[in-house]
Structure 1
């Protein structure tokens, strides 16, 4: 087994270090987050630091990078309090990845990368039409993380839209049947395969 010290990590080229540390944390959920500015401009961006926060109330969180690096999504959420999350499947990976480019705030990323918007009457933020699993959220909190300038954005799930109903009897949602991808590092995308489900663990 090899040993890599903190000092060694700090000595690496920043891109090498970013790739290594981003991979070290393991496979992550990845979604396209759709928002709209107060000026009416749709925005779409890929995020891979998404986490389940609780089921009652149903809440999801994600990490937003420092505002200087990724200002548009968090600003739109602050302004409107509404956003969507959209699962990515193999057919839209390249377009989804392209949303990580630093487009100007005046650019509609849906149009820039070639993805269609889907609007619903009860939601002011756009969904990704081609996504197999979509859900709408309302802002709960934006929590600063001072140590590195990032933010934990938490939201309540308002509605969920499934392309097909593959829910199992106990509510489990088998994402592999929707071809939802997962990510590793900054630019690696994978299809997941279930190994097993186990009974609730008790002492």
Structure 2
């Protein structure tokens, strides 16, 4: 299939929210922009009993429906000094106090090197992937033999960490040095066999490039250019963005109550 070239000149911008005319109490579809979405329900539903379906069938459906997902680019070292670098899209932030992240590793068809390394050495780094080195990061998912380093295949650069032995990825504009906080086996409810391991890491150090920070000292998504995981082998870049306020009941309760009454 022939595809158009990647548009490196594209810059996301902030726009109005999808239904900017929405008011308290309005039903979905009360604005023209959402009407087509509501009408889509006329095509019906597919309901799936997960206990009656092979996991191999659930996997493509779940990773296509739970999107977009951030990607943890994890660097780790074994107890014998063998380095490993691999992407994981079962990943997210857990808390900011204490600062913690989670990565889920599958044990099928075997225990992942990343999981083994983290559980035995206790240290690893999580590096966020940006557009300019997406191909470099993607190739590290290859099943290289122990004699071949994913680092060398990728062409990425090791940068020394402060608190852990595993290096961080120099090309990543946002990296976290992590220490193993907890590791939980996720077991099959029928066999009791551990299928996945949920790793919770305590963030010990954060490295962020100054050129991706805004005037408030936080990461500017336009400059950061992070990628997200979709279904099958698809990824996404940031598109146009919008901001929505967080409401206070005390400040808005009269308007909210009016909206509820109006739409009953």
TM-score range, shorter chain: 0.7 to 0.9
Of Structure 1 and Structure 2, which has the larger fraction of its residues in helix? 2
In 1, Cα distance between equivalents of 2:120 and 2:202: 16
1:168–1:9 Cα change, 3 Å: farther
CA shift for structure 1 position 176: 3.3
CA shift for structure 1 position 18: 3.2
Work out which of the residue numbers 232, 243, 257 in structure 2 matches 1:197: 243
| Structure of greater Rg | 2
Work out which of the residue numbers 166, 172, 191 in structure 1 matches 2:213: 166
In 1, Cα distance between equivalents of 2:218 and 2:103: 22
* Unpaired runs of at least 5, structure 2: 1-42, 189-193, 250-264
In 2, Cα distance between equivalents of 1:105 and 1:68: 17
What are the within-5 Å matches in structure 2 for residues 122-201 of structure 1? Answer: 122-147=163-188, 149-164=195-210, 166-167=213-214, 169=216, 172-193=218-239, 195-201=241-247
Q: Which SS does the other structure have where 1:112 is aligned? A: helix
Range moving further from structure 2, 91-100 or 35-44: 91-100
* Unpaired runs of at least 5, structure 1: none
Query: So what's the TM-score if we normalise by structure 2?
Result: 0.68
CA shift for structure 1 position 132: 1.4
Of Structure 1 and Structure 2, which has the larger fraction of its residues in strand? 1
User: How many residues matched?
Assistant: 201
1:183–1:166 Cα change, 3 Å: same
Work out which of the residue numbers 79, 95, 101 in structure 2 matches 1:60: 101
